[in-house]
Amino acid sequence: MMMITRKTALLMMSACLTAALAGCGQKESGSSAAPAATPAASAAASPVSTASPAASPAAAGSHGAHWSYTGDTGPSHWGEMGAENAACANGTEQSPIDIDLAKAKVNQTLEDIQTVYKPTAFTVVNNGHTVQANAADSSNVLRIQGKDYNLVQFHFHLPSEHEFNGKSFDMELHLVHKNAAGELAVLGVMLKGGKEQAALAELWSKMPAGENMEGVKLEKPVDLAALLPADKASFRYNGSLTTPPCSQSVKWTVLEQPVEVSPAQIEAFRKLFPNNARPVQELKGRTVETDKDK
């Protein structure tokens, strides 16, 4: 049996991320597949989920295999669609999860997450599984426990992939980051119906209606800070991309407080992807930590 070292695994993840910069997460939409990607590839592409870099948690696609969110190519069959997707069925740290707020462990040593975000140029693509915005540069940083992760892309799921106490939100935003070692970190933000999200106005007006990997360059920079809630209390756990190949070793941070988007924005996305969210996965002994109330 061939043994894979941690260094080799990280290099593979990084290669995938580069190849898949096209959509980490996506739950269900019946859309056809994008090229397969590993956590890193997904980051630019998946998740996951969550899209996905070990993200997106979202992932890009599945190495040539066409996957979707319904029927014979839906989530319950992803693990059957090639050996590279085995983690989708057999993984022990899969995403998304249902976060039990009462059982989240308060960790007094957790440092607050830090985001060094600025208005940034993006290109918007439709990878067949979600709408994804690819960053023009790597200047935006998510700092977790002293490690810096650079933003690669962000994408959306409808409904939310993560749940709180068994309940989902209207949508979920996954911001996929990657560090110099090729490790992925995904920041999940819940989206709920309310006032229009001005920071997404141009992006929403230019979402490709069909699969389009060349994408559309936005004329105005996206104000990333506006996509985050003022209260950044979070839940953290070790997980995976939320799309094939469901690669693990993804560091997930899910913010508790949601951000508003308008009902019209939600419906516009729903017309493209009626359901692109992977069902929640078993926790399998993992601990969900929180910096809330520490």
Res. 15 pLDDT band, cuts 50 70 90 = very low
The type of residue at 270 is R
Q: Give the model confidence (pLDDT) of 186-202 as tens digits.
A: 999 999 999 999 999 99
Comparing 76 with 45, which gets the higher pLDDT? 76
The whole-number average pLDDT for the span 46-61 is: 39
When pLDDT is averaged across residues 237-249 and rounded to a whole number, the result is 97
Q: What pLDDT was estimated at residue 285? A: 96
pTM for this predicted structure: 0.82
Distance CA 42, CA 33 (A): 13
- Within 13 Å of residue 184, how many CA atoms lie on the same side as its CB? 54
Q: Which two tokens stand for residue 172?
A: 């979920």
Q: What is each CA distance from 86 to 77, 238, 276, in whole angstroms?
A: 10, 18, 20
Give residue-wise pLDDT tens across range 119-162: 999 999 999 999 999 999 999 999 998 999 999 999 999 999 99
Tell whether the model's pLDDT for residue 54 goes beyond 60.
no
Beta bridge partners of 217: 123
Place of tokens 């009902």: 263
pLDDT of residue 224: 97
pLDDT confidence of residue 294: 64
Distance of CA 62 to the CA centre of its chain: 16
* In the predicted structure, residue 22 carries a pLDDT above the cut 70: no
Neighbours of 204 (CB within 10 A): 17
Mean pLDDT within 113-117: 95
What pLDDT, on the 0 to 100 scale, is given for residue 241?
A: 97
Domains of the chain, earliest start first: 6-83 (no CATH), 98-290 (3.10.200.10)
